[in-house]
Amino acid sequence: MDSQAIATHPEHAHTEEHPPYLRHHFVTVEQQRETASFGMWLFLLTEIMFFGGMFAAYLIYRNWYYPAFVAGSHQLSIVLGATNTGVLICSSFTMAMGVYSAEMRRRGALVVWLLLTIVLGGIFLGIKADEYHEKWEKHHVPGLNFSVSDFVKQNPAYPDDKPLPLDMAEKAQVYFSLYFAMTGMHALHMVIGISILLVLVVRAWGGAYTEGHMTTIENFGLYWHFVDIVWIFLFPLLYLISRHQ
Residues found near other proteins in the complex (CB under 8 A): 27-28, 30-31, 33-34, 37-38, 41-42, 44-45, 48-49, 52-53, 55-56, 59-60, 63-64, 78, 82, 85-86, 89-90, 92-93, 95-97, 100, 103-104, 218, 221-222, 225-226, 228-229, 232-233, 235-237, 240, 242-244
For the chain, what is the radius of gyration of the CA atoms?
Answer: 24
Residue 64's CB is within 10 A of a number of other CB atoms, namely 11
- How far, in whole angstroms, is CA 98 from its chain's centroid? 17
Measured from the CB atom, is 30 or 137 closer to other proteins? 30
Q: How far is the CB of 97 from other proteins (least distance, A)?
A: 6
Q: Least distance (Å) from other proteins to the CB of residue 203?
A: 21
Q: How far is the CB of 138 from other proteins (least distance, A)?
A: 22
21/136 with CB nearer other proteins: 21
- The nearest distance, CB 229 to other proteins, in angstroms, is 5
SS3 16: coil
Quote the least distance from Cβ 3 to other proteins, whole Å. 27
Compare residues 141 and 174 and give the one whose CB is closer to other proteins: 174
Q: Considering the complex, state which of residue 95 and residue 118 has its C-beta at the smaller distance from other proteins.
A: 95
> Under a CB-based contact definition with an 8 Å cutoff, are residues 193 and 121 in contact?
yes
Nearer to other proteins, 99 or 141 (CB): 99
Compute the CA torsion angle 172, 62, 86, 195 (nearest 10 deg). Answer: 80
Closer of 52 and 137 to other proteins (Cβ): 52
Distance of closest approach, residue 21 Cβ to other proteins, in angstroms: 15
